[in-house]
Amino acid sequence: MPDSSAAEVRLVRHATLSITVGETAFLVDPMLAAPGAIPPIPETPNDRDNPLVPLPDVDLSHDAVVVTHRHVDHFDEAAREELDPAVPLFCQPAEADAFAADGFTDVRPVDDAVSFRGVQISRTPGRHGHGELAEEMGPVSGFAFAGKETVYVAGDTVWYDGVAEALNRHRPDMVVLNGGAARFEYGEPITMGVDDVAAVRDATDATVGVVHMEAINHCLLTRDELGRAVPEICVPADGELVRD
């Protein structure tokens, strides 16, 4: 029989994840739009409407929603319309008022850590790019979900000392990174590329899964390219579990 105390992470699409820790299910960064419903990210290469691919047919039932930040590829209009407005919704403090304005009635900003149904949810830092561009991208967060096992979702960040510190603090069993090397027509990538992923792989003994690829127009690093460059990671397809 499966171990009900173990953690399970399934990639839905892009950064949308279904995470179960023990018996508690979280829907992370819900982008639920149909293909082509969202315009291309402005000032980016590969000028195509988003999402590029449909949602897979997977179970999206959940006890709570967690949003790392409110960029449209992490929380979209379809999610706002389709989610139960009474669902517990965990977010970074800077965005709590915006979710309340959207009509959500149980918004729970996470400053450091909170407990929910036996799971400790800790907010972790992120840096959404490099230099001034990272500042322009606004605040972003990751989250660690700790039960008998711990899952660390890094969110939209590049490799930097904040990620290293989160790995050291939470000692996760599983790490989920947002790859794709997303970029604008100027500046450096704003999410993890090959070197960032390799640095995380070298810094932890945890299972490392990489998502955030092949669904949004400005994510240019493919699953195949990343998997060949860093073979010691899991690169799940849409709908698949992150596995050792």
Half-sphere exposure of 117 (CA within 13 A, CB side): 13
Helix (H/G/I), strand (E/B), else coil: 106: coil
pLDDT, tens only, 61-105:
999 999 999 999 999 999 999 999 999 999 999 999 999 999 999
Closest CA to 153 of 170, 135, 139, 136: 170
Please say whether the beta carbons of 173 and 150 come within 8 A. Answer: yes
pLDDT, tens only, 171-194:
999 999 999 999 999 999 999 999
pLDDT for position 1: 36
With tokens 């904040």, the residue in question is 162
Please say whether the beta carbons of 96 and 50 come within 8 A. Answer: no
Q: How far is CA 124 from the centre of its chain?
A: 12
Superfamily in which the 7-229 domain is placed by CATH: Ribonuclease Z/Hydroxyacylglutathione hydrolase-like (3.60.15.10)
Is the pLDDT at 6 greater than 90? The verdict is: no
Average of per-residue pLDDT values in the chain = 96
pLDDT for position 2: 46
Total residue count of the chain as it appears in this document: 244
Please say whether the beta carbons of 58 and 27 come within 8 A. Answer: no
pLDDT for position 3: 57
DSSP letter, residue 182? -
Sequence-distant (≥ 6) Cβ neighbours of residue 2 within 8 angstroms: none
Q: Is 125 left (phi over 0), alpha (psi -120 to 50) or beta?
A: beta
Looking at per-residue pLDDT, the higher value among 6 and 106 belongs to 106
- Tell me the CA end-to-end span of the chain in Å, nearest whole number: 19
pLDDT, tens only, 194-208:
999 999 999 999 999
- pTM (2 decimals)? 0.97
% of the chain surpassing 90 pLDDT: 96
Q: What are phi and psi of 33, to 5 degrees?
A: -65, 150
pLDDT for position 4: 61
Is the pLDDT at 164 greater than 60? The verdict is: yes
Two tokens at 31? Answer: 């982008």
Half-sphere exposure of 196 (CA within 13 A, CB side): 29
Looking at per-residue pLDDT, the higher value among 243 and 59 belongs to 59
Pairing of strands 150-153, 174-178: parallel
